């Protein structure tokens, strides 16, 4: 029972009946209906208008979803293209590629929309690459094993040298391995070497620091109050001659440990001299602070040495366990051969 007069008077979903009814009183359609029927027709028209608006919004939302899906697909295609070009690989991180992708229109399109962000789509892409990467990695490890004794990767090895070596050892297994996977494997090897080097340097520095501390502690113990910032290198050499703490260091390292100790004492003596004018209570407090600092430092030195001793014990235990396993394996093989000979 839609009333054309309602449409003609510009009724919308926001129109109110009390404002519309006075405009419709003189229309033929309105005069043919009683008051209750007029209201019912008005409500029906408003529902029709609401349904049409909802349909229009639905069409717009669907169109926007299609556009967003196209923009996401375009960005995924960009990722695939960049991956094939070798711009990044399976071990790359979003922070490594974000700057490279920022100028691309596909990236900008994926950025200005709802749903998955570019970084999330990148992580999904890497996850998909990971499934194939595990098999590719096994292939490359097998090639490196075949090259054992003739080629190895060091921190000085260039990628072109590595690639030439693995391709030279290949017998067709690299056909399904993309260039980006070879780059990823090379980066993995270098990262392990860098990590091993850093750990070795840390161990060497801890060992050096422990030797320095032992040298300085021995000198403090032997010289006592005679040790000061004016102590000479010659005096130190005379006191430390033949001591294990000195023998553990080269002459240059001994001199460095001595210079470090003398500089520490010079700074402490200067600070003490600067405040010598204070009263007895102030001097007593300063002495307590110095004693407490010295005790804390000594405790830290002891803890560090104990930690290094524990690490050395674990290393020796591991070596002993490995040797025992080798001996047991050799004994087992010898017993097996003996039984075979007896059987013959």
Query: How far, in Å, CA of 105 to CA of 151, rounded?
Result: 44
Instruction: Inform me whether the pLDDT recorded for 83 exceeds 60.
Output: yes
Residue with the larger pLDDT of the pair 37 and 51: 51
Query: Which has the minimum average pLDDT: 67-71, 194-198, 200-204?
Result: 67-71
Query: How far, in Å, CA of 135 to CA of 132, rounded?
Result: 6
pLDDT, residue 8, reads: 45
Residue with the larger pLDDT of the pair 2 and 171: 171
With vertex at residue 27, the alpha carbon angle to CA 26 and CA 31, rounded to the nearest 5 degrees, is 80
Percent of the chain with pLDDT strictly greater than 70:
75
pTM of this structure: 0.53
Place of tokens 């979803």: 65
Instruction: Inform me whether the pLDDT recorded for 333 exceeds 60.
Output: no
For 113-159, the pLDDT digits (tens) are 777 889 999 999 998 888 888 888 899 999 999 998 899 999 999 99
Query: For 195, which DSSP code?
Result: H
pLDDT, residue 276, reads: 58
């Amino acid at each position: 029972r839609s009333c054309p007069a309602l449409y003609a008077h510009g009724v919308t979903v926001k129109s109110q009946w009390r404002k519309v009814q006075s405009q419709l009183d003189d229309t033929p359609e309105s005069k043919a209906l009683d008051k209750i029927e007029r209201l019912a027709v008005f409500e029906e028209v408003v529902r029709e208008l609401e349904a049409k608006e909802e349909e229009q919004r639905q069409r717009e939302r669907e169109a926007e979803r299609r556009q967003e899906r196209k923009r996401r697909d375009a960005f995924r295609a960009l990722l695939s293209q960049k991956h094939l070009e070798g711009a990044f690989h399976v071990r790359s991180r979003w922070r490594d590629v974000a700057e490279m992708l920022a100028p691309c229109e596909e990236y900008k399109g994926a950025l200005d929309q709802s749903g998955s962000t570019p970084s999330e789509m990148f992580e999904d892409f890497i996850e998909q690459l990971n499934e194939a990467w595990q098999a590719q990695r096994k292939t490359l490890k097998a090639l490196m094993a075949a090259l054992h004794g003739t080629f190895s990767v060091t921190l000085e090895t260039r990628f072109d040298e590595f690639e030439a070596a693995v391709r030279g050892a290949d017998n067709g297994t690299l056909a399904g391995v993309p260039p980006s996977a070879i780059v990823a494997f090379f980066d993995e090897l270098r990262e392990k070497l860098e990590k091993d080097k850093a750990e070795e340097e840390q161990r060497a520095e801890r060992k050096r620091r422990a030797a320095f501390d032992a040298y300085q502690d021995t000198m403090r113990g032997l010289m006592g109050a005679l040790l000061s910032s004016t102590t000479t290198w010659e005096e130190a050499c005379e006191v430390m001659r033949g001591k294990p703490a000195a023998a553990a260091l080269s002459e240059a390292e001994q001199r460095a440990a001595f210079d470090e100790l003398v500089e520490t004492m010079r700074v402490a003596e200067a600070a003490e001299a600067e405040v010598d004018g204070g009263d007895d209570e102030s001097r007593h407090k300063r002495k307590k602070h110095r004693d407490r600092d010295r005790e804390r430092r000594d405790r830290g030195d002891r803890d560090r040495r104990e930690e290094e001793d524990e690490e050395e014990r674990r290393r020796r235990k591991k070596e002993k366990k490995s040797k025992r396993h080798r001996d047991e394996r050799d004994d087992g093989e010898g017993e097996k051969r003996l039984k075979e000979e007896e059987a013959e």
